[in-house]
Structure 1
Amino acid sequence: MLIANPHAKRETYPDDLKNIMSIQKANESRAWLSDWSRLNSDGTPLYSLPDLAAELGVADILVKDESERSVLGSFKALGAPIALVRLILRRFPEQCFEARGLLAGEYSAALADFTVISATDGNHGRALAAAAQSVGCRCVIVLHANVSIEREEAIAAYGAEIVRISGNYDESVEEAAALAEKNDWLVVSDTSYDGYEEIPRDVMQGYGTIAAEIIEAAAQRQGSGPAFTHVFLQGGVGGLAAGIASYLWELCGEQRPTFIVVEPEQADCLYQSAIAGKAAKATGSVDSVMAGLACGETSPLAWKFLQPSVDFFMTIQDDEAVSAMRRLAAGSQRDIPLVAGESAVAGLAGLVRVVASNSLSSDLGIDGQSRVLLISTEGATAPGVYAELVGETADSVLSRQKAWSPKA
């Protein structure tokens, strides 16, 4: 399903939004993260996939590969540590902590009794656990029933205490809030709710690093015309989409690209928000193979940015995501093989759906001149699940990737 957003604007980035999230703050976050030992200091690659572009009838497809962001395997490594650092700086102003020093563990003795907690589908919790371990504070992570044992073990490996519940993601969010209140812990969540916006804002601001790297890489390779005309973004609660869209909107103003947000059919909270004209809940089971996007409620803070900037909202089915994973893994003569996890491929699956329909392509203005940007947000964060879905292990794909060289 696809819906055009009647509230989307093409104008200068509004001051009221700039006061919440800005390129300036994104650049500050990027500088703080530049020395964190758990991130790739070179950023992540931006690949062009010319064979896939030819298959889909567009001029170019660019893929930002966040699987190479860090050992944590996903873009979430940019959000949680920045939110934790900014929280500590606000919480203990008298200590005069320095941001880079926090991530280097220089103040671990002073923070040994400080505890943060969060619910997660996997990647945010893993990133928060790693950041807490670096900082030297305690971390508790609440997992719902559909989070795999693989993802639980990956989080626990960074020293986090795991709390399991039998419900879904939204119920795990409620449990984390209840435990925080009971024990005087601090919630570091990537979704906002009434009275809770500072930390989700900081998480989203961290994602601006992705946009900054894309702009820099595109400038180096750009020929005639814009680097990209359309940007397909994952849904979830809306944080990544808001972080990327706000940065590009501020940078490009009225000339911003067309933004399309894609999410699972059964976890359609953003699609439903577009229909309602306000942050809304999903109508389906919220049980999707795209585990990182299996979210039932839109982040109200993210919606402040998405409602005026996203041109189209659409939903896809699980099997479309699996097909997209396999296509990226396969590579081709001119397309490097890529390891893209279940939630990483929503944008590509959405693009494939659109170009298969003349009417949808026309609605979105996608044609042979279009240059499409996709963000592959994670690698094989659950290696067993990845191998089962793709029919090949991530290590095998990576071996082919290392041996690959483009052929004319």
Structure 2
Amino acid sequence: MFLKNSHVDYRAPLDPRDAETLGVAAAAEVERYLSFRDNHVETPLVALPGLAEKLGVGAVHIKDEGHRLGLGSFKALGGAYAVIRLVLEEAGRRLDRVIDISELHAPEVQAVARSMTVACATDGNHGRSVAQGAELVGARAAIFVHSGVSDERVAAIARFGAEMVRVEGTYDDSVREAARVAAERDWTIVSDTSWPGYERIPGLVMQGYTALVREALRKLPELPTHVFIQSGVGGIAAAVAGHLALEFGEARPVFTVVDPARAACLFETARAGHPVTIAHGAPTVMAMLECYEPSLIAWRVLSRVADAFMTVDEEDAVAVMRQLANPVAGDPAIVAGESGGVGLAGLMRAMADPAAKAALGIDARSRIFLVNTEGATDPGKYAEIVGFSPVVVAARNNRGAGA
């Protein structure tokens, strides 16, 4: 399904709160924080000229977040950053002075961190980031996971020392349970979704994602004409779209939000013109995007600066995983998890739909920017879908990409 943005706020300026959160100055501060991370390395921007020629566009570039901070997902930028900010702010209140990131490991700051517990709900990737951030600063973490999260993803979070809490039901059930328990125990919820009265911390999480946009813009040979970004609750899509709008104004790229058809909360919100909670149905293979209610601040951004919304099916996501693992001759292989290549799936679906292609103004000169939001965060599931382990796929680049 494809839908142009017809919201009354479309092309209106961002809310001042969101402009401050996602602007250039904020993104620069995120990058300064990253410079203090021991394992920080900019993730690759990968050109796929063979795929661009096959699709009939001028260029395709993918920012590969499968390498981010040892966690294999763009989420590494958000949760951990928010945890660090919150610890520094709490230390500042208790010590009655501004605490800089350079003081993170000072004894008095570490003492504050040890007194704090951060909590969140997760499908897997956000929880790993929050748990990693807590371990980094010396705080405790409690991570709530729903019944659909694989044991392998749970183990990947637990290795950072987090307390793991299983919740029956869906992601949204785990969000509610995490909020309830945290309120009872005076823990700090570090969520990547927002609800009435809870916006600042999800805003910090989104702010963390702006670093990947700044990195990409420094490497891209030209400003993209089109961007396709996948969406769960909307955080990554809003962060990218909002930052590009603030940086380039009316010259910004045409931006399309891509949802799984089985969990299309942003698409249905756009169709309704206001945030909606959709009914739970069959689970989607795009596990990190299986969300049934949008983040309010993400929708506030996307209602203004997203140009279109679309959905892709299960087979689209699977086909893209295999496409990236077995690329067009001359292109490098990319390890993309079940949700990682969904933006590319949206591009390919749009190219096959003459009406959508025309509505977006895609032609042979178009320059496409995408984000591989995750690598093989569940290697067993990846091998089951693709037919090869992620190690085998990654090794192909050392021998030359396959046809």
TM range (shorter): over 0.9
- The reply to whether residue 78 of structure 1 matches residue 65 of structure 2 is no
2:334 maps to 1:331 = no
Tell me how far 1:406 sits from its aligned partner.
11
Q: In the alignment, does 2:90 pair up with 1:91?
A: yes
Q: Could you list the per-position Cα deviations for residues 197-223 of structure 1 after superposition, in whole angstroms to 9, with x for gaps in the alignment?
A: 0100000001110110111001xx34x
- Aligned runs of 1:348-359 on 2, under 5 Å? 348-359=344-355
Which amino acid counterpart does residue 282 of structure 1 have in structure 2? I
Give the CA deviation at 1:103: 6.9
Q: Distance in 1 between matches of 2:81 and 2:375?
A: 21
- Measured in 1, the distance between the counterparts of 2:380 and 2:283 equals 18
Which whole-Å CA distance do the structure 1 matches of 2:377 and 2:17 have between them?
36
CA 1:373–1:145 in 2, change beyond 3 Å: closer, same or farther?
same
Letter in 1 for 2:181: L
The more displaced of 50-59 and 109-118 is: 109-118
1:26 paired with 2:27, answer: yes
- Equivalence for 2:46: 47
* Structure 2 length-normalised TM: 0.95
Contact persistence 1:121–1:169 (CA under 8 A)? yes
* Structure 1 pair 110–260 and aligned structure 2 pair: CA distance change class (3 A): same
Letter matched to residue 18 of structure 1: A
The code of the aligned residue for 1:142 comes to: F
1:196 to 170, 195, 198: 198
Instruction: Give the conservation status (yes or no) of the 8 Å contact 1:10–1:253.
Output: no
Q: The residue matched to 1:289 in structure 2 has which SS?
A: coil
Scaled by the length of structure 1, the TM-score of the pair is: 0.93
CA distance in structure 2 between the partners assigned to 1:396 and 1:106 by the alignment: 46
Could you tell me how far apart the structure 2 residues matched to 1:104 and 1:261 are?
42
Length, aligned pairs only: 399
The answer to whether 1:131 aligns with 2:133 is yes
Pairing 1:167-182 to 2, within 5 Å after superposition: 167-182=169-184
Matched with 1:114 is: 116
Partners of 2:142 and 2:164 within 8 A in 1:
yes
Report the CA distance between 1:283 and its aligned residue.
3.7
Q: Match of 2:338?
A: 342
Partner of 2:373: 377
Q: Alpha carbons of 1:107 and 1:34: their partners in 2 closer, same or farther (altered >3 Å)?
A: same
Q: CA deviation at 1:182?
A: 1.3
The answer on whether the counterparts of 1:11 and 1:253 sit within 8 Å (CA) in structure 2 is no
**Residues 1:289 and 2:285 aligned together:** yes
Paired residues for 1:239-388 under 5 Å: 239-285=235-281, 287-388=283-384
Deviation per residue, 1:252-301 (Å, 9 max, x gap) = 10111100000111111100110111122224427211111001110001
Q: Which runs of 5+ in 1 are unaligned?
A: none
Query: What is the CA distance between 1:14 and its match in structure 2?
Result: 6.1
* Residue pair 1:11, 1:254 contacting (<8 A) in 2 also: no
* TM-superposed deviation, 1:4: 0.6
Which whole-Å CA distance do the structure 2 matches of 1:356 and 1:120 have between them?
Answer: 34
Structure 1 consecutive aligned stretches of length 4 or more whose deviation exceeds 4 Å: 8-16, 103-106
Shift of 1:101: 3.4
Q: CA 1:405/1:382 → structure 2, altered by over 3 Å: closer, same or farther?
A: closer
Residue 360 of structure 1: how far off its partner (Å): 1.6
2:189 aligns with 187
Moved more, 394-403 or 229-238: 394-403
2:166 to 155, 159, 164: 164
Deviations 1:218-266 (A, max 9, x none): 1xx34xxxx3111001110000011111111111101111000001111
Instruction: State the distance in 1 between where 2:63 and 2:355 align.
Output: 28
| Distance (Å, rounded) in 2 between the aligned partners of 1:13 and 1:277 | 17
What is the CA–CA distance in structure 1 between the aligned matches of 2:263 and 2:243, rounded to whole Å?
25
Structure 1 residues 359 and 122 mapped into 2: Cα distance closer, same or farther (>3 Å)?
Answer: same
CA distance in 1, matches of 2:392, 2:300: 42
Question: How high is the sequence identity, in percent, across the aligned residues?
Answer: 44
1:209 aligns with 2:211: yes
For 1:168 and 1:103, how far apart are their aligned partners in 2?
A: 37
